[in-house]
Amino acid sequence: MAVDVRTTSVPASATPGSRRPRLPRAERLRQFALFGAPGLLVYTCFVLAPIAISFGYSLTNHNPFNPPTRFVGLDNYRLLFTDSEFLTSLRVTTILTVIVVIVPNVAGLGIAVLLDRKGWLYNALRTVFFTPMVLSSVVVSVVWTRMLDDEGLVNQTLRALGVEQPPGWLSDPRLALYSIAIILSWQMLGFCVVVYLAGLQGVPNELAEAASIDGAGPVRRFRSITWPLLAPSLTINTVVLLITAFKVFDHIQVITHGGPGTGTTATIAYDVLQTGLVANRQGYASAMAIVMLVIIAAAAGVTLKVLNRREVNL
């Protein structure tokens, strides 16, 4: 997801318009009704209200197949923090998120620097790197499953190269999560490349050339000129990767079904769906969903704060 997330923490009053006199109240209301209200109304109906309904459920023992529904207060939340399965899925999700935030960010920056040239070749390659973003998660999952199966392309190749026991990419409990992380990173890489490329194209050539004349080597030029100017790109990529990785569900469902075994690739989103839809414990699943939302919002908020401060200081 691409957003100029900085907007949230920069006070609106910082826009150049702050010198203007405020409009009369009636006029402001009219403008809100015309411009603001329609979008917010739809958003409230289909996102805020469902979250509120979920929160309501999370205070009950709601199980559609085992009525009656009783109010249980914060019991579900209390239970969550002693539920080893939930804590494991939290750990799994955290590992996945950390990898997916780092790998496409670093690789994307490298590739963007590599492709930051004019010419048809580089244009074509940019398109290539972005293409996985256009694929649905089902397609990505099916193709990668075929690649990483023991009889898949990767292990066929390894065997041809003389590796007798190639790794069980998706079947080894110690590896499966990392394989999923690589698949997600592959899909998100193009996004990072594009955002970094856009950032790089905003770096004025004169600046780099001036530095070059001053005798600065490529590494120093990158560190002191390019990298600071890429700060906004880094912020966008990091937050987008964080959110994408934290809520991943489709890939898990199609590739491993949360397996192999327990505690390997079952992410929080997967755990929520499994608890609510398969085990019918919808009250409890709602509590999980709310906690999940709070955690990701906190993580994104802190990341934004840190990166924004960094941007300002640079």
Partner 1 sequence: MKDSRLPWLRPVVALVISAFFLVPLYMILVNVFKQGEKITQSPASLPDPPTLDNITGLLSRTDNLFWASLTNSIVVTTLSIILLTVLSAMLGHFLARSRSRWARVAMLLLLSGLMIPPQVILMPITQVLRALGLMTTLQGLVLFNVGYYIPFGVFVFTGFLRGIPIELEEAAAIDGASRSRIFWRVVFPLLRPATASVLIFLGVWIWNDFINPLVILGPSQGTTITTGIYRSIGQYQADFGTVFALMFLATLPVLIFYLFLQKHFVKGLTGGATKG
Partner 2 sequence: MKHKALLTALVTTMVAGACSVGDQQTAQSGGGGKKEISFLVFETPNMTPQVWDAAIKRVTDKYPDITVKKLVAPTEDRVSYAKQLLASGQFPDVMIAVSPAGFAESGAMAAFTPDELKDFDFPNNGAVQGKIYQLPTNTQTIPVVYYNKDLFAKAGITAPPKTYAELLDDSAKLKAKGITPFVIGGGKDPFASTLPWTATIATDVYAKTPDWMAKRRAGTVKFTDPDFKKATEKFAELAKQAYIDKKDVSRDYAATEQAFLDGKGAMYPMGNWFAAAGDDPKRKPSWEIGAFNWPTDDGSVVVPAFTGGGLSVSATAKNLPEAKKFALAYTLDKTNLDASVHNDGLYPAVKGYTPPADTGAVFKLGYDLYQEGVKSNTVTQAFSWEAGDDGMLPGVVDKWRAGAQDLITGNKTVDQVLASLDDEWAKAS
257 near partner 2, rule: CB under 8 A: yes
State the Cα–Cα distance between residues 145 and 119, nearest whole angstrom.
Answer: 35
Q: Which long-range contacts (CB under 8 A, 24 or more apart) does 266-271 make?
A: 266/85, 266/88, 266/89, 266/92, 267/89, 267/92, 267/93, 267/96, 268/86, 268/89, 268/90, 268/93, 268/292, 269/93, 270/89, 271/85, 271/86, 271/89
b/e sequence 264-294, b meaning 16+ C-beta within 10 Å? bbbbbbbbbbbbbeeeebbbbbbbbbbbbee
* Span of 6-14, 25-33, 86-94, 251-259 interacting with partner 2 by CB under 8 A: 251-259
Each residue 113-132 as x (binds partner 1 by CB under 8 A) or -, in order, gives: -xx-x---xx--x-xxxxxx
Distance in Å, CB of 255 to partner 1, minimum: 13
Distance in Å, CB of 168 to partner 2, minimum: 4
168 near partner 2, rule: CB under 8 A: yes
In sequence order, which ranges of 202-266 are alpha helices (DSSP H)? 205-213, 218-221, 227-229, 231-246, 250-255
SS (H, E, C) 111-163: HHHHHCCCCHHHHHHHHHHHHHHHCCHHHHHHHHHHHHCCCCHHHHHHHHCCC
Question: 262 touches which of partner 1, partner 2, none (CB within 5 to 8 A by kind)?
Answer: partner 2
Each residue 105-134 as x (binds partner 2 by CB under 8 A) or -, in order, gives: ------------------------------
* Span of 169-177, 182-190, 193-201, 300-308 interacting with partner 2 by CB under 8 A: 169-177
Question: 24 touches which of partner 2, partner 1, none (CB within 5 to 8 A by kind)?
Answer: none
If binding means CB under 8 A, how many residues of this protein chain bind partner 1? Answer: 103
199 near partner 1, rule: CB under 8 A: yes
Residue from 7, 66, 224, 262 binding partner 1 (CB under 8 A)? 7
Distance in Å, CB of 182 to partner 1, minimum: 11
If binding means CB under 8 A, how many residues of this protein chain bind partner 2? Answer: 35
Contacting residues toward partner 2, per CB under 8 A:
64-67, 145, 148-151, 168-173, 176, 253-264, 274-275, 277-281
